Amino acid sequence: MIDFYIKKSKKDRNYEAQIYAYRYSTTYSKYPRNIAFADSALEVAKKSGKDDLLSSAYINRGKTWMDEKRYQKSLDDMLQAIKYSNKIGDNYTTYKTRYFIAQNKIYLGLYDEAIEELKPCIIFFKNNINNNSLGKDYEMFYMYSLMSYIDTNSKIYHQKENKPLLAEAFDYIKKNNLPQYLPYFVASDGINSFYAKNYKIAIEKLNKALALYNDKRFHYTETFYLGMSNWQLGNKEKAVRYFKLIDAQYTKNGKLDPHFRPTYEYLIKYYKAAGSKDLQLVYVNKLMELDRNYEKNYKYLYTTINKEYDTKKLQQEKSQLENSLQKQRIFYAAFFLIALFGGLFFVYRYLKLKKQYREKFENIIHPELHQTNKSENLKFYSPLPPADAEEIYYDNVPGINPQIVEHIVMQLENLEKEKLYLDPQLSQKSLSESIGTNSTYLSKIINVYKNKNFNHYINDLRMDYLLTQLKTKRKYLNKDVNQLAVLSGFNSTESFSKNFQRKFEMKPSVFIKLMKENAKNSA
């Protein structure tokens, strides 16, 4: 439809219609086509030679540059626009242009110069509110000029001047039923409170402003000052949530007003204090990217921005962070390799130990399958002497009569047969007394014929008894260590466990576990 209108206006050589068509196309196009349409409108205006059309075309392109945040270019076009509007005495266009010039100067950080542009705008639009005509909205520009003047005053700490201006705005909005402007002035009041260091009041008013807006736009100013106010109150985690909302918009659009640059300085400080070097580096890189853009497109503003992190400091911090993270990555890699090899070693050790336990377990459970040459020791373990060597057999203990030796050996056989070793009160002294001998003889005979000392002899008998019970009666597998100790004649769990490990070279719990596995597999 627009293409048709452009072609028709060209054919009719209707410059005004052509400019209108190009302006319309500019408004509904994205960069760079919007600039191309704005350029076309200006070319047509130049062909026409009419000052009013030239003023209109320059304003159109200036506003387009402003939308693209190219404020110096926008300012240049607005200054051209005001030159042509002054020629024809079009005060409305002149003051409207001065309003746009003020906006560019605000973005460029020229606050005092912006104030000088806004003061006469407020007076002119206020005095001509009742002169509204087609295409002219004095009331809207009065509200915008007043709003901009208040915000700029806040930035240069002229909060006191804002009190009567805010009262004027709220009074006018109420009298003329203009609720669409209310949230903007509530936000301005909140920003004014921020610069007056009334941070709690600022938060209250900024939140109220956000609730009053009837749109789906992202409100950078309110979000930014909510973050700043919370930061000043020490609510840094909450402040960071607001700053991250601004960062999300920058990530999405690739654009950010220089006024909101501190967002990244605060994010850097927050994650530096938190020791989160990865995120600190992310925001250092983003701020450097922003500064490159600002330096390119806002040369004057970039030199005037109050920067806690300038380019040199950012580069130094980035270098330090990258070096630190590199060392950290090397450390983590080394730690991972050590952990990996350590883990493999422990797995190897575990499997090896498990295999050893299994082999020992099989030797204990099935000793007949794992006999070794024990011919030299057999005579010490057999309770019965060979039939043809009775005197020789009992004559192995020097200094003790063979008959006494025979008597004691037979008593030991009876002890084993009757399972007297299960008595937890049994001792070397009590046993020697019960069989009519002394402790010395008993000890020597056990050493020679059992190849053990008294304690090991008795405790091994108890272990052999327990092993038989575990092998033949499955219910014992469900008993705990304390119960097994009592069952096998030990006074304490500690003594039981110590002797179990000495004899079987594994903990009772490991042995019971293997027994259960064995029982399960054989079931």
Domain ranges of the chain: 1-156, 374-451, 453-523
The pLDDT value recorded for residue 2 is: 65
Tens of pLDDT, residues 153-164? 988 888 889 999
pLDDT per position as a tens digit, 421-443 = 999 999 999 999 999 999 999 99
| pLDDT confidence band for 313 (50 / 70 / 90) | low
* pLDDT over threshold 50, residue 383: no
CA distance 415 to 421: 7
DSSP secondary structure string, 85-137? HHHTT-HHHHHHHHHHHHHHHHHTT-HHHHHHHHHHHHHHHHHTGGG-BTTB-
Q: What are phi and psi of 373, to 5 degrees?
A: -75, 110
Q: Is the pLDDT of residue 10 over 90?
A: no
What pLDDT band is residue 303 in, cutting at 50, 70 and 90?
low
Average per-residue pLDDT in the chain? 87
Q: Global pTM?
A: 0.59
Confidence band, pLDDT 50/70/90 cuts, at residue 385: very low
What's CA 431's distance to the chain center, in Å? 71
Determine the angle formed by the axes of helices 71-87 and 91-107, rounding to 10 degrees. 160
pLDDT, residue 476, reads: 86
Query: What fold characterizes domain 1-156?
Result: 1.25.40
- DSSP three-state, residue 340: helix
DSSP readout, 439-502?
Answer: HHHHHHHHHHHSSS-HHHHHHHHHHHHHHHHHHH-GGGGGS-HHHHHHHTT-S-HHHHHHHHHH
The CATH class that applies to domain 453-523 reads mainly alpha
- State the DSSP string of 63-78: HHHHHTT-HHHHHHHH
Q: What are phi and psi of 136, to 5 degrees?
A: -125, 130
Residue 454 has a pLDDT of: 94
Beta bridge partners of 136: 133
- Residue 45: closest CA among 23, 15, 75: 15
Q: How far apart are CA 439 and CA 424, in angstroms?
A: 18
Residues forming a β-bridge with 133: 136
Measured CA to CA in angstroms, residue 29 lies from 68, 215, 216 at distances of: 12, 21, 20
Question: What percentage of the chain has pLDDT greater than the value 70?
Answer: 90
Locus of tokens 């301005």: 188
Residue 4 has pLDDT above 80, yes or no: no
